[in-house]
Amino acid sequence: MTARITAILFVLIPLAFILYLATYIVQEGEQAVITQFGKPVAYVTEPGLKFRIPLVQAVQRMEKRLLPWDGAPENMQTRDKKRIYVDCWARWKVSDLSKFYTTLRTERGGQKILDDNIDSGVRNVVAKHNLIDLVRTTNEKLMYESDELESTGINRDVVKTGRERIENEILMTLKADLMDQYGIELVDVHIKRVNYDDQVKATVYGRMRSEREMVARLFESEAEEERNRIKGLTQKELDTIDGKMKQKAAEIRGKADAEVIQLTAEAYGRNPEFFVFLKKLEVYKAAMKSDTNLILSTDNELLSLLKSMDELPRRKENAEVEE
């Protein structure tokens, strides 16, 4: 009995080992190339338990899912002669396993061929478009742009193609060739970053400063216009107040003059001789100053009052004699 069990085990263990070597599992998201003495003899694209000739055939596993590609920034020139650095990323997968393995062998070989092809394709497409198409997708107003900036009349660069269409153009340019030559399906290509060359940076920053200076001058002009408007309104209000004040003063002065005239007329009506007397005194006061010399005849009207003043003592003496 023991010898029988030993014999069975002696047979089963090598069979199990051979069965282990003859089977392999392709995981979900994987595909495999079966090589025999280094040459591909079978391509497995479906997951599950598979069989091979042990010790003769080998299994080369490869990803069936999307693989990342991230390139280094490359210096290139746009259609409008601007030097820029363009950094791209892509997603790809092995669609034709037979062609891919025959030409490139490994995923590392696929990454290398993508380095060369995507760099060349991006360079050719970028050379056909202006810088504005690489950095913008539409002509919609940017958040930092203001109504004042638009009112300055600055000519804005117009987006004719846009970044999304350029990325799609790059994809379409490379996709067919990569599939036909290497069995690579290029699924997506995107521009990750666009950085300006130092010379272009100076030009861009200079333009930004110029635009902001124009906006600043516009604000200054509007402020000066508003200041003049406020000063005009203030002066107009002051002139209105001054006019009303002068009108009121004239009315008050007119009323006072009217009252003076009325009182003078009443006084003149009561005693005309006294009024004439006062007028003569005013004339004397104005004419006979300390530095004034007058040469008058004896019958001059100005002397009539002085004569009358000289006759008063005589009249008084005559009156006393008569008494």
Task: Check if the beta carbon of residue 89 is closer than 8 Å to that of residue 188.
Answer: no
Q: Is the pLDDT of residue 150 over 70?
A: no
103 lies in the same domain as 183: yes
* C-alpha distance from residue 184 to each of 109, 118, 179 (Å): 11, 12, 5
Q: Quote the domain boundaries for residue 8.
A: 2-63
Give 134: exposed, middle or buried? Use CB within 10 Å, 0-12, 13-18, 19+: buried
Task: Check if the beta carbon of residue 288 is closer than 8 Å to that of residue 294.
Answer: yes
Q: Is the pLDDT of residue 147 over 70?
A: no
User: How many folded domains does the chain comprise?
Assistant: 2
72 lies in the same domain as 164: yes
Nearest to 306 by CA among 280, 274, 278: 280
Residue 221 included in any domain: no
Task: Check if the beta carbon of residue 101 is closer than 8 Å to that of residue 60.
Answer: yes
58 lies in the same domain as 72: no
Residues shown for the chain: 323
CATH number at residue 149: 3.30.479.30
CA–CA distance, 178 with 296 (Å, rounded to integer): 134
104 lies in the same domain as 146: yes
Residue 291 included in any domain: no
99 lies in the same domain as 139: yes
Contact partners, residue 92, CB within 8 Å, separation at least 6: 66, 67, 69, 110, 114, 178, 184, 185, 186, 187
Residue 126: pLDDT band (50, 70, 90) is very high
Structural domain ending residue among the three candidates 196, 228, 258: 196
Residue 125 included in any domain: yes
Nearest to 55 by CA among 19, 10, 31: 19
35 lies in the same domain as 136: no
Q: pLDDT of 47-79, one tens digit each?
A: 999 889 888 899 999 999 999 999 899 999 999
CA–CA distance, 96 with 98 (Å, rounded to integer): 6
Residue 248 included in any domain: no
34 lies in the same domain as 120: no
Q: pLDDT of 33-48, one tens digit each?
A: 999 988 999 999 999 9
Residue 135: pLDDT band (50, 70, 90) is confident
14 lies in the same domain as 135: no
132 lies in the same domain as 145: yes
Residue 311 included in any domain: no
Residue 40 included in any domain: yes
Structural domain ending residue among the three candidates 11, 31, 63: 63
- What's the pLDDT at 291? 67
Residue 206: pLDDT band (50, 70, 90) is confident
Helix, strand counts (H, E) of the chain: 9, 9
CA–CA distance, 40 with 52 (Å, rounded to integer): 12
Residue 14 included in any domain: yes
138 lies in the same domain as 24: no
* Least confidently predicted of 151-160, 247-256, 297-306, 311-320: 311-320
180 lies in the same domain as 97: yes
Residue 130 included in any domain: yes
Structural domain ending residue among the three candidates 63, 87, 105: 63
Neighbours of 8 (CB within 10 A): 10
- What's the pLDDT at 172? 94
Contact partners, residue 182, CB within 8 Å, separation at least 6: 99, 100, 103, 104, 110, 113
74 lies in the same domain as 163: yes
Kindly state the percentage of the chain with pLDDT values over 90.
40
